[in-house]
Structures are given as C-alpha cells and as structure tokens.
C-alpha cells in the first residue's frame, strides 16, 4: 500500500507527515494525542543520508517534544550497498540512529513500529527493530535474504531450503516467520487506526521478543539461554 493511503488510514484525524527522498517525518494526531512519525518509503535502501535525516528528526523530537510517542513506518530493501557508504563508515551512521532511538526511549518516548511493505536486514535493524512493539501488515514482506540468494551463499540446495521453510521460521522469509520468532508482535488487521490506539493504550514493556518467540515455539532457545547466562 502507498504511504499516503497508509497515513490516511492510520490517522483519520489528520497528519502533517511529509516525504523527501524516501524519508518521511512529521507529526500526526491520534485520539490519544499527538505523535511523531518517521520512516521510509519506496523500498528505500538505507544509506548514510537516510540515517542522518531520521536521526535528525529523532533528536529534534527528544529536544523539543518530551515524551511524545514515536511511530516508525518501515519500507526498506535493506542497507545501501556501496563503496561510498563503506568509505564513510555507514555502520557508524546506522549505529548513531540506533543510539538516538535508545536515547528517546531512555527519555520516556514510546517507540512503535509498523512494517507496511518491506523490511530487510540492516535497513530494518537501524530503526524499526529498535521499537518497544513491532507490528506488521499481513501483506508486508520481512526477510534477511530471499531463498535463492541464501542457497547460493550457504551452498545448500534450494530444494532443501524450500522444504525446510515450511517447518522452520528461523530462515523462511515472511511476516508469519517473524511473528513466530517473536520479532513481530502482532499482525495488524484493519481498521489500522484502531490497532494503533490499542498499541498506544498498552503500557510499554521491556524487550519481550524472546519470551514471545518461545511461547510461539519459533525461537525455543533464545530466552532460556540468555536466562541461564544472567543466572550464572
């Protein structure tokens, strides 16, 4: 779905979110009050400029609008693959964005994510995956890599990967896989404005993805293993 249609569905009371070079930022109105919105459109490959533009907005919100909830709308094909980005240290730019979002959380901003189109590896990692709650539309596409590329790099037969995709959410691309792993908390059905209100009503919790992954039997070891370590 287009970003315009999405914003209209999410914020029937109105919004002032604008797009520039695949980056969206702005404020929107919900029945619970105002909220900040940021994200990407058109399957944007997240490069150094993207990270700076998003970080700029997050810092502005932390500075000028204490405690305002932040919604991240994700549509990215991943990090931008280029020599220029690596030369400038793109990993540091993405880490900067991640740290700005953590600062927002530390300062009491609620962080929500909605994956509405694509969410892939480094691009997803740099903002959407930092939220307290991560949700996705049923038609969204979440993955690290598609199966043919995965087969090529791991040197495993594509047929084997396709066969195991049915039973193993750990590497099968898709929203359903991420849901079972706890990486996506809920798959949103319409009306979306209602789902957003419900999310804003819930008290923010810690990082519960391991527990959800265990409850949904997609990631059976992550929670227990980290608990063994903290108890050691």
The two three-digit tokens of residue 16, written as one number? 């002032």
DSSP 206: S
Give, as ranges, the residues between 83 and 112 that touch other proteins (CB under 8 A): 83-96, 98-100, 102-103, 106-107
Q: How far is the CB of 38 from other proteins (least distance, A)?
A: 15
Binding-site member from 5, 158, 160, 215 for other proteins (CB under 8 A): 160
DSSP 191: P
Give, as ranges, the residues between 109 and 138 that touch other proteins (CB under 8 A): 121-122, 124-126, 129-130
When asked if residue 217 is in the footprint of other proteins (CB under 8 A), the reply is no
SS (H, E, C) 69-109: CEEEEEEEEEECCCHHHHHHCHHHHHHHHHHHHHHHHHCCC
DSSP 188: P
Length of the chain: 232
Binding-site member from 19, 27, 68, 164 for other proteins (CB under 8 A): 164
Stretch that binds other proteins, among 5-13, 164-172, 186-194, 195-203 (CB under 8 A): 164-172
How many residues belong to the site for other proteins (CB under 8 A)?
A: 76
Give, as ranges, the residues between 4 and 33 that touch other proteins (CB under 8 A): none
C-alpha–C-alpha distance, residues 23 and 213, integer Å? 31
Give, as ranges, the residues between 169 and 198 that touch other proteins (CB under 8 A): 169-173, 177-178, 181-183
Stretch that binds other proteins, among 5-13, 15-23, 163-171, 192-200 (CB under 8 A): 163-171
Q: How far is the CB of 23 from other proteins (least distance, A)?
A: 14
C-alpha–C-alpha distance, residues 6 and 184, integer Å? 19
When asked if residue 141 is in the footprint of other proteins (CB under 8 A), the reply is no
Beta partners for residue 17, in sequence order:
26
Strands 141-143 and 111-120, by their bridges, are parallel
DSSP 49: H
Instruction: Report the residue number, 41 or 177, with the smaller CB distance to other proteins.
Output: 177
């Amino acid at each position: 779905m287009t970003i315009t249609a999405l914003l209209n569905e999410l914020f029937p009371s109105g919004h002032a979110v604008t797009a520039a070079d695949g980056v969206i930022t702005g404020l929107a109105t919900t029945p619970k009050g105002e909220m900040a919105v940021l994200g990407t459109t058109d399957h944007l490959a997240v490069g150094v400029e993207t990270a700076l533009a998003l970080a700029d907005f997050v810092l502005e919100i932390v500075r000028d609008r204490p405690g305002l909830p932040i919604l991240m709308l994700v549509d990215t094909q991943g990090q931008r693959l280029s020599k220029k980005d690596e030369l400038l240290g793109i990993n540091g730019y993405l880490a900067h964005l991640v740290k700005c979002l953590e600062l927002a959380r530390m300062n009491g901003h609620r962080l929500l994510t909605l994956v509405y189109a694509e969410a892939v590896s480094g691009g997803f990692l740099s903002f959407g995956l930092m939220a307290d709650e991560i949700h996705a539309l049923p038609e969204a596409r979440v993955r690290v890599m598609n199966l043919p590329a995965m087969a090529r790099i791991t040197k495993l037969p594509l047929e084997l990967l396709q066969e195991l995709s049915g039973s193993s959410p750990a590497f099968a691309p898709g929203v359903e896989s991420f849901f079972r792993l706890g990486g996506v908390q809920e798959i949103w059905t319409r009306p979306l404005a209602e789902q957003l209100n419900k999310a804003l009503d819930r008290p923010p919790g810690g990082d519960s993805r391991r527990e959800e992954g265990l409850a949904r039997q997609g990631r059976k070891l992550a929670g227990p293993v980290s608990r063994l370590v903290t108890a050691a």
